[in-house]
Structure 1
Amino acid sequence: MSHLSPDRYCAVLGAEGVGLGRWHAHHHQWLGTRAFTCDAAQPAWGAALEALSALLAEHAPRGGQLRVLLSARFSRFCLVPWSDAIGHPRELQAYAQGCFENLYGQSLADWRIVLSAEPAGTARIATALPEALLQGLQGVGREHRLSLRSVQPYLMAAYNRCSAQLAQGDFLFVLAEPRRSVLLLAAGGAWQQVLAQGCADTDQALQALIERTCELYGEQLPRVYLHAPGRAEVPQLAAIQLCQAAGDSDPLCAMWRAVA
């Protein structure tokens, strides 16, 4: 008896739209996108969940697995310095929550915090995701008979996929999503900074953001790596282009293809 592998779907929740791709056996297929607009009375992820559910209903999956990639719009990032006083995972979670609350000036009790795995003595990159969004994605999966296998910020998926192209030494990794960019600065073998900021989709705005970040680094500028999914034209910047798929003018499709 042969056992057919289940279809695997990947949803990309972008700043203004949701995209959906599918893997069946060895075939990749982009199924399309659905735009959404945010009502001031509900959080942005509420409209994104409705768009995702409608997009899944349109393609009527017959069971399978679902992976979700989240735009920086739905994630918060923070650098968590090393502390010798931390000796238990619960203490580390409380410490990371304190770092977030100090940075953002509000409680993150209803957010889920995930920390990167780093060597002892070095800072970690922490990501906070709304708990209600994660529960909502579980509900959408159940509604469409899909098993939710993972939810990951696109920043982490893109960095992991591009990391093999990064040379040894200090560097600045720049993810230029539509309307928002995230920058990771590494020096001396450790993370030094993570910055997420709204940014116009122009070379000039992105270059200014990179230069401001590099000023914090010191006199010797780090090597700059750029991943800008869905740009109609390759950015003309002094940066090494990563995971750049030619011909993908749809940012959501480009994000999916870059990490597929």
Structure 2
Amino acid sequence: MSPLSRDSFVAVLAPARVTLLRAARGGAAPCASSDCEGGWSGAADALQGLLREAGARRGRLTVVLSSHFAHFRLLPWSDAIGSPAELESFARIGFEDIYGPVAAGWALRISPEAAGRPRVAAAVDKALLERLQSIAQGAGLSLESVLPHLMAAYNRLQPRLARDNFVFAVAEPGRCSMLLARAGQWLSVRSSACGDSERAVAALLERECELTGIGDPAAGPLPTVYVHAPGRAAGEWPAVEGIAPQALALGGGDAWQDMALAVAS
């Protein structure tokens, strides 16, 4: 088998459903999906079964994690931090302050930013990452990357966002994750359980804007509000702080197929 014939898969792991897609030029084609339960462990079991059924032998696997399986935190700038190791320790202490000792078992990724600017930290259970690595190896695949959906969607849609002042919301089933930026710097990151209606998402965004003051005209230019809702038909969203949100879409299909498009080109 030549390298050109190797398969490239994208898996989307969510609490109630796992979807496996075969990546190809121009997007990703669904292979199979499976309902699941039992948190990330149940989702990993379902993925292992789907890869076995797909007959995966050689190739690559990219995993998109629902934001149900990730945690996020804004890291303020500190002049006292002088190395990547100190930055990770600072981030880990912050997660442990919020979530307790369980955060000691999380793997962290921190956004690169210019000196003096806040950073966004994402945390995923190390045991989940190790399980995914084991599943990929067992299927003869190379695990290329594991990305929380919020970060994958932001990376893909970032060219379409306003540069300095914006609210970016990713409304996947049962959860809404938000990135807020003001004056070109991160202001807030939050992920919360949320109803699937447009009104529920707008109410959550309204509350976050009020908490951060980003919608206050006295604080500076009003932000542009963006909502990316995988699997949801494009339409008008209720105003947030008097601002009409712009819907950002990546494609058609159900929510989990749409989530795969954040990493499938």
Same fold (TM over 0.5): yes
| Residues 1:235 and 1:74: Cα distance change in structure 2 (over 3 Å) | farther
* Structure 2 residue 60 is matched with structure 1 residue 70: no
Q: CA deviation at 1:235?
A: 5.3
**Does the CA contact (< 8 Å) of 2:177 and 2:192 recur in 1?**
yes
Distance in 2 separating the partners of 1:205 and 1:106: 32
Distance in 1 separating the partners of 2:100 and 2:223: 30
Distance in 1 separating the partners of 2:54 and 2:192: 34
Supply the AA of the counterpart residue of 2:232.
Answer: R
Supply the AA of the counterpart residue of 1:241.
Answer: A
Distance in 2 separating the partners of 1:3 and 1:56: 19
Supply the AA of the counterpart residue of 1:255.
Answer: M
Q: What's the counterpart of residue 16 of structure 2?
A: 16
Distance in 2 separating the partners of 1:48 and 1:140: 12
Q: CA deviation at 1:242?
A: 1.2
TM-score by length of 2: 0.90
TM-score by length of 1: 0.91
Q: What's the counterpart of residue 232 of structure 2?
A: 231
Distance in 1 separating the partners of 2:129 and 2:4: 29
| Residues 1:24 and 1:165: Cα distance change in structure 2 (over 3 Å) | closer
**Does the CA contact (< 8 Å) of 1:229 and 1:251 recur in 2?**
yes
Task: Please point out which of 154, 161, 165 is paired with 2:160.
Answer: 165
**Does the CA contact (< 8 Å) of 1:181 and 1:198 recur in 2?**
yes
* Structure 2 residue 120 is matched with structure 1 residue 125: yes
Task: Please point out which of 108, 128, 148 is paired with 1:113.
Answer: 108
Instruction: Give the SS at the match of 1:229.
Output: coil
Deviating beyond 6 angstroms after TM superposition, the runs of 4 or more aligned structure 1 residues are none
Q: What's the counterpart of residue 41 of structure 1?
A: none
What is the CA RMSD across the aligned residues, in angstroms? 1.9
Supply the AA of the counterpart residue of 1:253.
Answer: Q
Structure 2 unaligned spans of 5+: 239-243
CA deviations over 1:111-144 (Å, ceiling 9, x no partner): 1011001111011100001000000001101111
Q: CA deviation at 1:36?
A: 0.2
CA deviations over 1:125-168 (Å, ceiling 9, x no partner): 00001000000001101111111111111111110110000122
Distance in 2 separating the partners of 1:236 and 1:187: 22
**Does the CA contact (< 8 Å) of 1:243 and 1:258 recur in 2?**
no
| Residues 1:91 and 1:240: Cα distance change in structure 2 (over 3 Å) | same
Instruction: Give the SS at the match of 2:135.
Output: helix
Instruction: Give the SS at the match of 2:199.
Output: helix
* Structure 2 residue 257 is matched with structure 1 residue 253: yes
Distance in 2 separating the partners of 1:212 and 1:23: 38
**Does the CA contact (< 8 Å) of 1:7 and 1:25 recur in 2?**
no
Supply the AA of the counterpart residue of 2:89.
Answer: A
Q: CA deviation at 1:5?
A: 4.5
**Percent of matched pairs sharing the same residue:** 43
Distance in 1 separating the partners of 2:79 and 2:201: 37
Q: What's the counterpart of residue 193 of structure 1?
A: 188
Instruction: Give the SS at the match of 1:4.
Output: helix
| Residues 1:94 and 1:22: Cα distance change in structure 2 (over 3 Å) | same
Task: Please point out which of 208, 212, 217 is paired with 2:213.
Answer: 217
| Residues 1:25 and 1:175: Cα distance change in structure 2 (over 3 Å) | closer
Instruction: Give the SS at the match of 1:109.
Output: helix
Instruction: Give the SS at the match of 1:87.
Output: coil
| Residues 1:97 and 1:235: Cα distance change in structure 2 (over 3 Å) | farther
Q: CA deviation at 1:175?
A: 0.5
**Residues 94-109 of structure 1 correspond to what in structure 2 (within 5 A)?**
94-109=89-104
Instruction: Give the SS at the match of 2:187.
Output: strand
* Structure 2 residue 140 is matched with structure 1 residue 149: no
Instruction: Give the SS at the match of 2:188.
Output: strand
How many equivalent pairs are there? 253
Q: CA deviation at 1:100?
A: 1.1
